[in-house]
Structure 1
């Protein structure tokens, strides 16, 4: 029974991810094709002595003169063979650029993801414990304010305060300027990572905190918690035995659901701090009409977000047996 369930579960997600990638490919290719930016002009840059014949040869080499449907089919066939194309900006294979840039972005997003989850959960628990008191009111107003502040504005404020005025952190980049890659120490990388990660974490920690607060308040006002108080259980015992167990799953839901927010916010954070990650590469590809790189990053980001949501569903089943049984019953009825 379980083997059949896992087989159906895996097959259903494979169908979903293939369908998602096809839809994202079509929509992204159409939007990029409608862009007013001339790829040939972006490729040659500010070189003044490029003749019309040379421009035509460049366009023919990149297949820009072919009909859009034919270009899409050629790109799709190459993609099935593992060839994402060559970037017009970096003059390198798109797969190599994504691999290189994502390693930098992954460190940034994981650090921000962990920090936002722990901070949001802790602040949400504090607000729930002190529900209706001055601590709850102050923290709630702070979280509501943070939800409305754009990421790039927070990054600029952090740069002005911690880098320019106080001098605690560097102005940007992922490594010190003028230092060879093999000579950069781990502490130097962490030093350059803290401020961008802190900026990116502000994107989602307030949502986690507010959601955790509401769930904890509901738990603390439930009948079984009131009964536990009547039996003389301490506040810590109630939180440990009833509160944390019931609010853990909603917190996990919010945290894994923030993958798309983190990926989107990394574009702004990386541009503010000149951080050489995948978000900055996506921004450069969009501004430069680098179709192969932009499509490759779009597909990769869609796959990344899909995997995050899939992991969340798997963790739901592990944490909550009722959800796992619901998955199995749904799979058996199909």
Structure 2
């Protein structure tokens, strides 16, 4: 019944919320300890080249201003209480609230990851179907070779390759950055942003094709070898008609949930791609915060990325629970119906 499905979903989301809260607490504590034990001196990273001109008294004032002179646990408790009240602190690099930096960079990253997510899903799903429908042929072997090669290819290497070929040699796209250099913000057009987005998005989508394609291929091969498909073949169904009636609905759901579950890989790949292309997103901000000892920004990005990945996994689980009754807790009820 509908009320039981609703109750199962509410219970599922409740326990997921508890798991996310405990996960964020653990990640926050571990990340804070790792950052505090980092060899990078946040004061030196904050001052930069003028560090030799900073006296001991000035250094102590900077430490007091940022709260770095307090014991580690006291710093963690102060930061945690501020986060619970909605204040992620102030970035030492950008001199802006961490929430503003994340919000601005997230708009760039979400555009990049959305394009790559859609392209990798559509292309991977399509070539996976093509390989399964031509099992054992040269088409299948070429697609498998392509996917296995991509699965072992580092993101930064693919980014550098595309950058050299299409930006340096052919001069089809800009070398990097999110907007043209030296152009005022109000003069930047949508086409300018799209041109700077294409190469990083292609880098992520090309790498992300492999998992979806191989999973779709294997799932469709299993479907096509099932008894009901064999019976359909005996009735004269074949080719695209056979796939459309019996294959598509059995492989679409696993492919979609796999895409949502791949948020962690997508986010990790975005960090490398943005660094290669100097694209102003969350990935580049994470690298800058780590190298320059910006503790508030780095911890804010860690929390945000953890929530982003966790939400993707929850959406994948939720789709399965809604569509497939066997994954619900009310399993016996679904079977009886």
Give the TM-score band, short-chain normalised.
over 0.9
**2:40 aligned with 1:37:** yes
For residues 177 and 330 of structure 1, what CA distance do their matches in structure 2 show?
Answer: 62
Look up the SS of the partner of 2:49 in the other structure.
coil
Give SS of 2:67's match: coil
List alignment gaps of at least 5 residues for structure 1. Answer: none
Calculate the TM-score normalised by the size of structure 2: 0.95
Partner of 1:241: 245
Q: Does 1:314 align with 2:322?
A: no
Give 1:319 shift.
Answer: 3.3
1:117 and 2:137 matched: no
Distance 2:41 2:137 in 1: 59
Seen in structure 2, the aligned counterparts of structure 1 residues 230 and 329 have a Cα distance that, compared at 3 Å, is closer
**How many Å apart are 1:321 and its aligned residue?**
4.0
Matches within 5 A, 1:1-334: 1-2=3-4, 3-47=6-50, 48-323=52-327, 326-329=328-331
Scaled by the length of structure 1, the TM-score of the pair is 0.95
Find the residue that maps to 1:204 and give its secondary structure. helix
Is the CA contact (8 Å cut-off) linking 2:46 and 2:293 kept in structure 1? no
For residues 218-259 of structure 1, what are the alpha-carbon distances to aligned partners after superposition, in whole Å with 9 as ceiling and x for unaligned?
111111111110110122121011111111122112211110
Task: After superposition, give the CA deviation of every residue in 1:11-68 in whole Å (9 maximum; x if it has no partner).
Answer: 1122111111111101111111110110000011001311111011111211112111
Residue pair 1:203, 1:262 contacting (<8 A) in 2 also: no
> Which residues of structure 2 form unaligned runs of 5+?
none
RMSD of the alignment, in Å?
1.6
Distance of aligned partners of 1:168 and 1:330 in 2 relative to their CA distance in 1, 3 Å threshold: farther
Query: Could you tell me whether the CA contact under 8 Å between 1:123 and 1:209 is conserved in 2?
Result: yes
Between the two proteins, the alignment pairs up a number of residues equal to: 330
- Separation in 1 of the partners of 2:219 and 2:183? 49
Q: Take 2:119 and 2:132, find their aligned partners in 1: how far apart are those partners?
A: 20
Shift of 1:6: 3.5
Contact 1:203 1:261 in 2 (8 A): no
